[in-house]
Amino acid sequence: MKATQKLHNLGQSLWLDNITRDLLNSETLKRYIDELSVTGLTSNPTIFDHAIKNSAAYDDAIREGLAKGKTGEGLFFDLALDDLTRAADLFRPIYDRTNGVDGWVSLEVSPLLAYDTTGTIAAAKELSARAGRPNLFIKIPGTKEGLPAIEETIFAGVPVNVTLLFSSEQYAAAAEAYLRGIERRIAAGLNPKVGSVASMFISRWDAAVAGKVPEALSNRLGIAVSGRIYKSYLDLLSSPRSQCVLNAGAQSQRLLWASTGTKDPKASDTLYIKALAAPFTVNTMPEGTLKALADHGEIGSSMPTDGRECEKMLEQFASAGVNVSQLADQLQDEGAKSFVKSWNELMTVIASKSKALKQAA
């Protein structure tokens, strides 16, 4: 039995952190679903930047968009929605079979809106309506300005993937926003079943402290922080507040491990997959990590639920001068800026491709 199947049997969902038109056209994504237990997919501006820049598969669609007067951001979302609605349809049987727990794809609002609450709400509603698929998450960053947008978007009945979360405090704030949105739906007599995941970025922790802590602590900060977050997640799931909304028909927001590709070439290429195996969670992994897991990965026991070992490890990082709270805020800010950079690069790619295709016409 492949390690991918073992992880799935343990109760964790395997999602692919990638989308390209070639992946769809070649039926590679379908093969991952059929053979590697993949049950969902995530995307971001960087992924689309690479997909459009490195393939001619989008050229015809870009020509069609240009003929309709589409440019820039408008043209991009047409391309992205084409890909993601196709992917959503591939995952739809899983979504139906799991009653909406699994089988999701994700599309991010413009990163330029990371600190614009009103703009984020409007964009989330519009993109969800355009997609017309029940199993498409709109990704909204868990920044201070993003939190009220998450609440309002959930209240509007739009499924949300809360992204750019790094710490237990940031997770708690995102979970609070989700719960408030659901509680408002219940109070308004609306159906409280609105899907959501809270995405924790893992490997960036270790990249941030690489070479700045003792070798014994190398590649251990992300896992330690994850253990703290996992305990917070389990505590929330068992809380009276969560049980109250579940009793009204809501669905729990699931914890998602993101950025789980190993960045240190000296470390195992499945480091974060093995360490973060846990039921009722999601691990969205790069394509290379998925293949490595299927080829030679090992799945051991589930993550500890008590958080004791991770707190001991975090004490060692504190002794080494790492302020986890400050670093979490820094990483979230850097992540938002990184997505803006990728977004600007994506717009440049679309503009240059558009110009080249016009000249070739």
Query: In angstroms, rounded to a whole number, what is the distance separating the alpha carbons of residues 202 and 278?
Result: 15
DSSP H helical ranges for 98-202: 117-131, 146-155, 168-187
Token pair 């989700």 is at which residue? Answer: 178
Token pair 């069609």 is at which residue? Answer: 64
- Type of residue numbered 117: T
Would you call 128 exposed, middle or buried from its count of C-beta atoms within 10 A (0-12, 13-18, 19+)? buried
Do 61 and 79 form a contact (C-beta atoms < 8 A)?
Answer: yes
Q: How many CA atoms lie within 13 A of 45 on its CB side?
A: 24
198, containing H or E segment:
strand 196-201
Tokens found for residue 311: 């707190």
Query: Catalytic: which of 70, 139, 231, 353?
Result: 139
Query: In angstroms, rounded to a whole number, what is the distance separating the alpha carbons of residues 221 and 263?
Result: 13
Report which of 137, 130, 177, 144 is spatially closest to residue 44, judged by C-alpha positions: 137
3-state helix, strand, coil in the chain (%, to 5): 60, 10, 30
Whether 312 sits among the annotated catalytic residues: the reply is no
108: left (phi over 0), alpha (psi -120 to 50) or beta: beta
Q: Which residues are catalytic?
A: 139
